[in-house]
Amino acid sequence: MITVYTKKTSLYRRYSGPPNVGTAAASARIFEITPSVLGITEWDLDVNGPLDLTTAGSWTLVPGGSYTAAFNIKGAGGTNGLQGSGGAGGLTTATFNFVQASQYTIIVGSTGSTSSPGTYGGGGAGGGTGSYGGAGGGYSGLFIGAAAQPNAILMAGGGGGGYGRDDPGNNGVGGGGGGSSGAAGTGSSSGGGGSQIAGGSAGGGGATGGGALTGGTGGTRSTNQGSGGGGGGGYYGGGGGSQGAFGGGQAGAPGGGGSGYIDGKVGHVVSDATTTAGSGSAAATAGTLTIT
C-alpha cells in the first residue's frame, strides 16, 4: 500500500516545497511509526537518535523522504525445553534506501513460553506439556507492505527450541537461526534448518517441517516425556525435532533454526549486507531491530 500525504506536512519539515522534490526530501531522515515508540510518532534519526526496538512486536513505518539508513537485526532465541537449550537467533546487517511515502512493516521476533511460541515471528510450538520441548524463536525483519514472504527485504531467523526429557545422554542444542540456511539442531532426529528455497525437514516422530516464515512443530509423546523442540521462524522456518529420539523413546530432539534473508529484487536497494547464523545457546532471548 502506498500512502500519499496531502494535509499532514510535519514529516517534510526540513525543507520547503511539495513532496517528491528529489534531493531535498532525502535530507530529512524522518519517518512516521505506528504504534508510537517512547511516545514518539514521527521519529527523526538525526534528532531522536537510532530507533532501537528491543521488545517483540509489529510496527508500520512511512518515511517522509527518500534516504539511506543502516539496519542491525537479530532473530529471537529458541526457548529451552525441559532439559535441552534453545538455539541462538541469527544476525542480519545492511544499508537500505527508504523510498518516500512507501509503507514498510517491521517485525521483532518473540521468544516462546515453554512449549508455546510467541506472538511475533513465526516460531514453531514445542511438543508436550510435561517433559516439553521448547518453542522456536521468531524471526525479525523488514518488509515492504505487509509482512508476507514475497515482500521480505531483510530478515534474521529465529533459533530452534530445546528438547524435552533427556534419558539417557545429551541430545544436543536447538539449531541457530539466520544465515542463508538456518542450522539443524544438534543430536539425533533433530529438525533441519530452513534455507532460501524450503523449510527445514521434520526430525520425525510426530514433528512437522518448517514453511514460509514459520517453524515446524516438535513431536509430542503421549506420556509428555521426551517431546521435541519447535523450529525457528525465518524466510523459511526450521523443522521441529522428533519426540523420543533416544533411550527407548524417552529423549526428545531439538528444532532447527529459520533462515535469514537479504533482498535482491530490482527496486530494493540494499548494500553492505550480511546474514549469519546464531551459534550456541541463547535461549528465550527476544529479537531486536535497530535503525541508524
**Contact yes or no for 109/56 (Cβ under 8 A):** yes
**Total residues found in the chain within this entry:** 292
- Supply the pLDDT for residue 268: 72
Q: How far apart (Å, rounded) are the C-alpha atoms in residues 182 and 89?
A: 9
Interior angle at CA 177, CA 174 and CA 182, nearest 5: 95
Q: Mapping DSSP to helix (H, G, I), strand (E, B) and coil, where does residue 138 land? A: coil
Q: What pLDDT is recorded for position 17? A: 36
Question: Can you list the alpha helix ranges (DSSP code H) found in the chain?
Answer: 23-26
Per-residue pLDDT of the chain (292 residues; tens, 9 = 90+): 333 333 333 443 433 333 443 344 446 899 999 999 999 999 999 999 999 999 999 999 999 999 999 999 999 999 998 888 899 999 999 999 999 999 999 999 999 888 899 999 999 999 986 678 999 999 999 999 999 999 999 999 999 999 887 555 555 677 888 888 888 877 778 999 999 999 999 998 889 999 999 999 999 876 656 889 999 999 999 999 998 754 455 678 899 999 999 997 766 778 889 999 887 766 678 999 999 9
Q: What is the pLDDT of residue 221?
A: 78
The pLDDT value recorded for residue 278 is 86
Identify any residues that bridge with 290 across adjacent strands, giving them in sequence order.
52, 72
Cα 278 to Cα 236: distance, rounded to the nearest angstrom: 16
Taking the C-alpha atoms of residue 243 and residue 173, their distance in angstroms, rounded to an integer, is 15
Rounded to two decimals, the pTM is 0.88
- Give the per-residue pLDDT at 290: 98
Q: Are 236 and 198 in contact (CB under 8 A)?
A: yes
Are 243 and 128 contacting, i.e. CB atoms less than 8 angstroms apart? yes
Q: Are 241 and 173 in contact (CB under 8 A)?
A: no
- Note the pLDDT of residue 171: 55
Is the omega angle on the peptide bond into residue 35 within 30 degrees of 0, that is, cis? Answer: yes
- The two counts, helices (H) then strands (E), for the chain are 1, 12
Q: Which three cell numbers stand for residue 250?
A: 524417552
**What is the per-residue DSSP string for 227-264?**
PPPPPPPSSBPPPPPPSS-BTTTTB--PPPPPP-EE--
pLDDT at residue 167, as a whole number: 56
Residue with cell 500500500: 1
Using CA atoms, how far apart are residues 219 and 237, in angstroms rounded to an integer? 16
pLDDT at 269: 74
Question: Is-contact 138 234, C-beta < 8 A?
Answer: no
Q: Which residue has the cell 522456518?
A: 237
CB 207 within 8 A of CB 240: yes
